[in-house]
Structure 1
Amino acid sequence: MRLTAAHTAVPSPRPWRRYGAAATAVAATALAGAAAVDADSAWYRSLRKPDWQPPPRAFGAVWTPLYGTIAYAAGHALGRAPDARQRAALTGSLAVNLLLNAGWNWLFFARRSPRAGLAGTLLLDVSNVDLLRRTARTDRTAARALLPYAAWCGFATALNASIVRRNS
């Protein structure tokens, strides 16, 4: 990115590269996480869940646009990072966040451990705060786009905690 004389951020050239990279990383996260999910398994069906848990089809309907906003926010913010150091910090924060995002499915479903899932989603919440903070330093528009994702993850943490309580 270049700065004009008035210190106004100018997006870097070739936006398709950064948006494409972000979309690829987010799609890989979605696929890696989905590979661990078996919401029709006897184990999952046997868990006691709160009445306020959304139906299974709601999760795909929610995650699809959330993943889209993550890719948009990442591509947007990376194009406005003022230097390589800030771009690297933002990229690292996003990478950790996406690993934790996909990892939750493996902890909860593949390990069949709501407790491990809860630990994973708490780490994801911490990572969301870091990602929001770093993104806001670069681009407030991109940070605002991440707010529904962070809110949904907070909801997922409450849901996971409720499942742990009900099945302990």
Structure 2
Amino acid sequence: MDLTSGLALAGFLAVSFAAAASGAIFKPDDWYGTLRKPGWTPKPWVFPVVWTPLYIMIAVAGWLAWRQAGLVALPFAFYAAQMVLNAAWSAAFFGLRRPDLAFADLVLLWLSIFGTILAFAPLSATAAWLLAPYLLWVTIAGALNLSVWRLNPDRVAQA
């Protein structure tokens, strides 16, 4: 790996972990602890165990696509959108206490991840496949978010 490629990988990792930082800023608190949740809700320790490798895979996927084609507009528009939407979810759910807005964010996030996969596939099949577990986890997160929202209609902050 040459210097430019190494710096690009470091940049993709920095962007990925910047999005992850939203989860450290807006994290579960007493409000979340009192919400009704479905019985299949993962234990709290599962989330960092799952998200850490996913954020690395997101960064590596971006880097692999970049290595093949540079910063091609459409694929990286999807990539940038999913990073922003990823970061916005914690702020909507935990910061604003709005599972309704967080669910809307997750729908857009899911679509942007799917779009990224489709846009990355012609550039790098490996990059596209690296995003598949992310799409699966966001699908699960969406189902959980929707369940929490539905189980707690009286606990959602109003705009």
Fold shared by both chains (TM-score > 0.5) = yes
Residue identity in the other structure for 2:62: A
In structure 1, what is the Cα distance between the partners aligned to 2:88 and 2:4? 31
Note the aligned Cα RMSD (angstroms). Answer: 1.7
Question: Do the aligned partners of 2:38 and 2:147 also contact (CA within 8 Å) in 1?
Answer: yes
Q: Find out whether 1:92 has 2:92 as its counterpart.
A: no
In structure 2, what is the Cα distance between the partners aligned to 1:17 and 1:92? 21
Deviation at 1:13? 8.0
- 1:71 alignment partner in structure 2: 59
- 2:47 alignment partner in structure 1: 59
**Correspondence for 2:99 among 92, 106, 114:** 114
Q: Structure 2 regions of 5+ residues with no counterpart?
A: 154-159
Deviates more, 1:87-96 or 1:99-108: 87-96
The aligned runs of 1:19-38 (5 Å cut-off) are 19-37=9-27
For these two proteins, the number of residue pairs brought into alignment is 153
Question: Do the aligned partners of 2:85 and 2:109 also contact (CA within 8 Å) in 1?
Answer: yes
Q: Find out whether 1:160 has 2:145 as its counterpart.
A: yes
Question: Do the aligned partners of 1:33 and 1:101 also contact (CA within 8 Å) in 2?
Answer: no
After TM superposition, the score normalised by the length of structure 1 is 0.85
Runs of 4+ with deviation above 4 angstroms: none
Question: Do the aligned partners of 2:36 and 2:152 also contact (CA within 8 Å) in 1?
Answer: yes
In structure 2, what is the Cα distance between the partners aligned to 1:69 and 1:152? 13
Percentage identity across aligned positions? 35
Larger radius of gyration: 1
- 2:112 alignment partner in structure 1: 127
Residue identity in the other structure for 1:31: A
After TM superposition, the score normalised by the length of structure 2 is 0.90
Deviation sequence 1:14-39 (CA, Å, 0-9, x none):
311321111110011111332111x2
Q: Could you say if the C-alpha distance between residues 123 and 142 of structure 1 is closer, same or farther in structure 2, counting changes exceeding 3 Å?
A: same
Question: Do the aligned partners of 1:78 and 1:90 also contact (CA within 8 Å) in 2?
Answer: no
In structure 1, what is the Cα distance between the partners aligned to 2:73 and 2:145? 32
- 1:148 alignment partner in structure 2: 133
Deviation sequence 1:104-132 (CA, Å, 0-9, x none):
00000000111111111111111111111
Residue identity in the other structure for 2:20: A
In structure 1, what is the Cα distance between the partners aligned to 2:89 and 2:99? 10
In structure 1, what is the Cα distance between the partners aligned to 2:45 and 2:60? 24
In structure 1, what is the Cα distance between the partners aligned to 2:24 and 2:84? 13
